[in-house]
Amino acid sequence: MFDALKVKDECVEWIRDFFEKNGKGCNAVVGISGGKDSSVTAALCVEALGKDRVIGVLMPQGEQADIDMAYLLVKTLGIKYYEVNIKSAVDSLIGAMPDDLKISEQSRVNLPPRIRMSALYAVSQSVNGRVANTCNLSEDWVGYATRYGDAAGDFSPLSHLTVTEIKQIGHLLGLPSQLVEKTPIDGLCGKTDEENLGFTYAELDIYIRTGEIADKAKKELIDRRHAANLFKLQLMPSFRYEDK
């Protein structure tokens, strides 16, 4: 049985301990999308460090239809924030590519989150910060994160918690329901996460925690995605030279 209060309190203490050891007096820098993950991460950091040590970074790419949710979060938490529009940076980099190089669709989709991570670190290193990774276990399990994009960071409060569990913590933290229950959209191709994945987070979360899933085709899809994307969760392979 998941004890949201116990896990929330333990996570808050873990964040405090991380900053005590890895950035005493530093600020937590959180990329704010207005979804449950960035909302819960920011709220946990506020409880752990105080709102004066948490800085949000909003990073729309041109017009962002749901940016009002990001504004709602920073207002609710009372945290300082910066807004960095990444559209010109993305367009400039794509425009700088050689004419004879055909940019793949996957490259176009993954470039914005990688630019966002560059922006986050630019802010973080300017405000004595540590960057929060906002990925969760459900997304990581099936590789639904951009390597060196949203999968990067200095500390990760949610990477061992499922979407279902994070929602429980979000409600416990008193966050507005529209933030916790907001339909997850990847912000890359315009589809919801579940449309892209082919199964719901509820189905995935039960499978992760219990190994149970009724639909055999969905089980095979989840297993295939998990196996294909394990490399994202592992350290980069490196040749080990030993001077004998």
Q: Alpha helices, DSSP H only, in the chain? A: 4-22, 36-49, 67-77, 87-95, 105-124, 137-141, 163-172, 177-180, 193-197, 201-210, 216-228
Quick one: fold of 4-233?
A: Rossmann fold (3.40.50)
Asked if residue 97 lies in contact with residue 132, where contact means CB atoms within 8 angstroms, the answer is: no
Per-residue pLDDT of the chain (244 residues; tens, 9 = 90+): 899 999 999 999 999 999 999 989 999 999 999 899 999 999 999 999 999 999 999 999 999 989 999 999 999 999 999 999 999 999 999 999 999 999 999 999 999 999 999 999 999 999 999 999 999 999 999 998 999 999 999 999 999 999 999 999 999 999 999 999 988 775 555 678 788 888 999 999 999 999 999 999 999 999 999 999 999 988 899 999 988 7
CB atoms within 10 A of CB 126: 10
Q: Position of tokens 């279902």? A: 164
